[in-house]
Amino acid sequence: MKTQTMNRDWIATAETLSSALPYLQRYDGAIVVIKLGGHAMGSDEAMETFARDIVLMRQVGVNPVIVHGGGPMINAMLEKLQIRSDFVNGKRVTDAATMEVVEMVLSGVVNKRIVQAINRQGGRAVGLSGKDANLITCDQADPDLGFVGAPADLDPKVLYGLFEKDMIPVIAPIGAGRDGETFNINGDTAAGAVAKALQADRLLLLTDVAGVKNGDGDVVTELKAADVEAMTASGVIAGGMIPKTETALDAVRNGVRACTIVDGRVQNSVLLELFTDHGAGSMIRA
């Protein structure tokens, strides 16, 4: 005969599951776009946890869409090939040789690592880039940056097809040009464009800081568009945070319900953000 005494941890687990019900109901059928940055990708264990969270989201009726970066992985390959690389305002100056490496790394190893991690957890992930099924057509962002793309036309039909088949799209931020060129898109920018095209319920930008910090270094958990503008004007929001908050503002002003800058280093941060009272970052609303 087996006996057991009730353990406090089990009761806490059951309480957590029970308290998630209103959130599970709220997000049933929702579209959630998640940007996974290169810095947030981390170890195989961290990737496994992230993948499990994504599969759980799909299991409870959310339609997750992953848009990834991979800046550090591109840097490593360019270094191996002894190709110099410069950034201007957080964007990589991309000549033809660099573009080849960017596409090879993002659409290749990085995309397939995420796809495989999700599939190993029992999901059905499909890797795409903006070139597939005309998902992202770009114009050149700025002649000084070379082949850096500004998403211009999005055709998200392929994504709806994948949702219907219970599949999880994993998108590399590469776009097609109108004259057959290939464009390198900043990962945050690509995620924002996809979220807008899908009129997503949530856009989560995973990064390696606790959230948007104010002048005292404290994380601000909720920001209105006007707060972001004031903090950017005063220089409190700077560097790599600028493309993120710009993307967030553009998204929430164009039909995305809310955007959160999430600390991707926190275990299960995506679940915490969606299914509990304890968000894991800074939420930006219009």
Ligand X SMILES: Nc1ncnc2c1ncn2[C@@H]1O[C@H](COP(=O)(O)OP(=O)(O)O)[C@@H](O)[C@H]1O
Nearest distance, CB of residue 73 and ligand X2W, angstroms: 8
**104 is a contact residue toward ligand X (CB under 6 A):** no
Rounded to the nearest whole angstrom, what is the least distance from the CB of residue 257 to ligand X2W in the complex?
23
Annotated binding residue 90: no
d(Cα 44, Cα 268) in Å, to the nearest integer?
14
Closest to 111 measured CA to CA, from 100, 126, 96? 126
Known catalytic residues are: 35, 38, 71, 188, 244
Pick the closer one to ligand X2W by CB: 54 or 148.
Answer: 148
Give contact residues for ligand X2W (rule: CB under 6 A).
37-38, 69-71, 74, 91-92, 102, 148, 173, 184, 186-187
How many residues touch ligand X (CB under 6 A)? 16
Which of 121, 207, 260, 269 binds ligand X (CB under 6 A)? It is: 207
Say whether 71 counts as a known binding-site residue. Answer: yes
Contact residues for 31 (Cβ-Cβ < 8 A; gap 6+)? 62, 63, 65, 163, 198, 199, 200, 201
CB 67 within 8 A of CB 200: no
Q: Which does 212 bind (CB under 5 to 8 A by kind): ligand X, ligand X2W, none?
A: ligand X
Rg (CA), the chain: 19
* Cα–Cα distance for residue pair 189/209, rounded to 1 Å: 19
* Residue 129 interacts with which of ligand X, ligand X2W, none, CB < 5 to 8 Å by class: none
Q: Which residue lies nearer to ligand X by CB, 188 or 201? A: 188
In the chain, DSSP assigns E strands to 31-36, 63-68, 87-88, 91-92, 125-129, 136-140, 149-154, 168-172, 174-177, 182-184, 202-207, 222-224, 258-263, 281-285
- Report the distance separating Cα 239 and Cα 263, nearest Å: 17
Longest dimension (CA), the chain: 75
Q: How far apart are CA 221 and CA 228, in angstroms?
A: 12
Q: Which residue is nearest to ligand X2W (CB)?
A: 69
Q: Is 177 in the site for ligand X (CB under 6 A)?
A: no
* Partner in contact with 91, chosen from ligand X, ligand X2W, none, beta carbon below 5 to 8 Å by kind: ligand X2W
Nearer to ligand X, 101 or 236 (CB): 236
Q: Binding-site residues for substrate, please?
A: 70-71, 92, 184
For binding to ligand X (CB under 6 A), which residues are involved?
37-40, 69, 207-209, 212-213, 236-241
